Amino acid sequence: MRSAGTGGQAIENTASRASRQNILHEASSPSPLTVSGEVTVHMDEANDLLELLAKWPTVATHEVELHRQAVQLSLRSGFDELLSVKMLREITPFPHQLRTVERVLRRMRGRALLCDEVGLGKTIEAGIILTEYILRGLVKRALILTPPSLVEQWKEEVTRKLGLAFVCYDEPRFRSADKPWQAFDYIIASI
């Protein structure tokens, strides 16, 4: 926390919560109080500052949360480095798969149909793209729709190779949930 000191100079306030409580407790002392040898607090200046802060309009909690989220998003790096590649298990993606993932994330903003010959790694490409979005906090829920014959294959691939915990729509825990489509964030279902 930065605060303005005398002469307009900024100083670093590293006092712990306990130290701040001691400051308030010793507010009646007429001399300046030094906390941890780093900050000198003049109680009359502190009281003036508190009075000024009390006059400022309050900000709604949701506005503070929106601002915090905006700051977090602005600090995120682009897709120059793929974060999800480090999380892959049992596989090393081929260069053509990484190029496809980068193209989808950078140029197509995740909106793409992955169409290729059988066995060229479309499942892995889609999984890396999804994992990338999840790691960056851009996706909170995902639904994978696949032909019925591929449901189990997708479940195995995303679990074993990507470390993602999906539930299939035909599993007992999905069927027994009160509102399964709302209860689970990651679902695999057939078309």
pLDDT tens sequence across 11-70: 333 444 444 444 444 444 455 555 556 667 677 887 888 888 788 877 788 888 888 877
Q: How far apart are CA 93 and CA 91, in angstroms?
A: 6
Residues 130 and 149 in one domain: no
Same domain, 125 and 170: no
pLDDT band at 5 (very low <50, low <70, confident <90, very high): very low
Is residue 64 situated within a structural domain? no
pTM > 0.95: no
Q: Do residue 133 and residue 155 come from a single domain?
A: no
Same domain, 158 and 130: no
Residues 82 and 133 in one domain: yes
- What is the structure's pLDDT at 33? 57
In a domain, 73, yes or no: no
65 half-sphere exposure, CB direction, 13 A CA radius: 3
In a domain? residue 168: yes
pLDDT tens for residues 61-119?
888 888 887 777 666 666 778 888 888 888 889 999 999 998 888 888 778 888 888 88
Do both 155 and 123 map to the same domain? Answer: no
Map residue 39 onto helix, strand or coil. Answer: strand
Q: Who contacts 39 (Cβ-Cβ below 8 Å, separation ≥6)?
A: 11, 13, 14, 15
Residue 13 lies in a domain: yes
Domain end: 103, 123, 139, which one?
A: 139
Asked, for residue 10, whether it belongs to a domain, the answer is yes
Structural domain boundaries, residue 13: 2-56
Task: Look at the chain and report how many structural domains it folds into.
Answer: 3
Q: Name the residue with higher pLDDT: 90 or 10.
A: 90
Q: Are residues 111 and 149 in the same domain?
A: no
Query: 146 and 134 in one domain?
Result: no
Domain membership flag for residue 66 = no
